Amino acid sequence: MTSLPSSVLFCCDHNAVRSPMAEGIMKKFFGTDTYVQSVGVHNDMEIDGFSIAVCQELNVELSRHRSRSFDEMEEWGDDLSSFDLVIALSPASQRRALELTRFYHLEVEYWPILDPTGLGETRDAKLVSYRQARDQIVNHIKTRFGDPKEAT
């Protein structure tokens, strides 16, 4: 465990499943103690309904999340160099983050989080996969940043 950075950017492939879950959970755990955003390599999907459902089980609201890409983030005025830490949740997002941060003194970590999309035949089976991904994120956040300041 290390001290809480002042800003964290989570990234994954589409900013529709894993990175929004990580953003929401981090905000739930640490409130305004750190600035948290999420982004994807691509922005071609809306927030995934199963992600919304499994995060709601932890009282983490994701239904208002709007997906965005690295390119859109920069177009909208968010400078990647303003983040203290970038956490990639997929190999593609790790490659993109490293490519974009090669000119900055910026830490990029990779957390191998399960991609639950496409897993499970039934709704219940899909929810099990999404819960596994969510719980991996929770465990990584707690290991990296310590116990949440709010009870979950």
**Predicted local confidence at residue 152, as pLDDT:** 43
Residue 49: inside a domain: yes
Whether residue 86 contacts residue 9, with contact meaning beta carbons closer than 8 Å, is answered with yes
Share of the chain above pLDDT 90, in %: 56
Give the domain range for residue 82: 7-145
Share of the chain above pLDDT 70, in %: 97
Over 90: is that where the pLDDT of 78 sits? Answer: no
How far is 150 from 58, CA to CA, in rounded Å? 12
The CATH number assigned to the domain holding 17 equals 3.40.50.2300
Q: How confident is the model at residue 151 (pLDDT cuts 50, 70, 90)?
A: very low
Residue 117: inside a domain: yes
Residue 86: inside a domain: yes
Residue 125: inside a domain: yes
Over 90: is that where the pLDDT of 45 sits? Answer: no
Residue 2: inside a domain: no
With CA atoms as reference, report the closest residue to 100 among 39, 151, 25. 39
Over 60: is that where the pLDDT of 32 sits? Answer: yes
Residue 94: inside a domain: yes
Region 22-26 average pLDDT: 96
The tally of domains found in the chain comes to 1
How far is 10 from 17, CA to CA, in rounded Å? 11
List pLDDT tens digits, range 103-119.
777 889 999 999 999 88
Over 70: is that where the pLDDT of 100 sits? Answer: yes
Residue 1: inside a domain: no
How far is 37 from 108, CA to CA, in rounded Å? 14
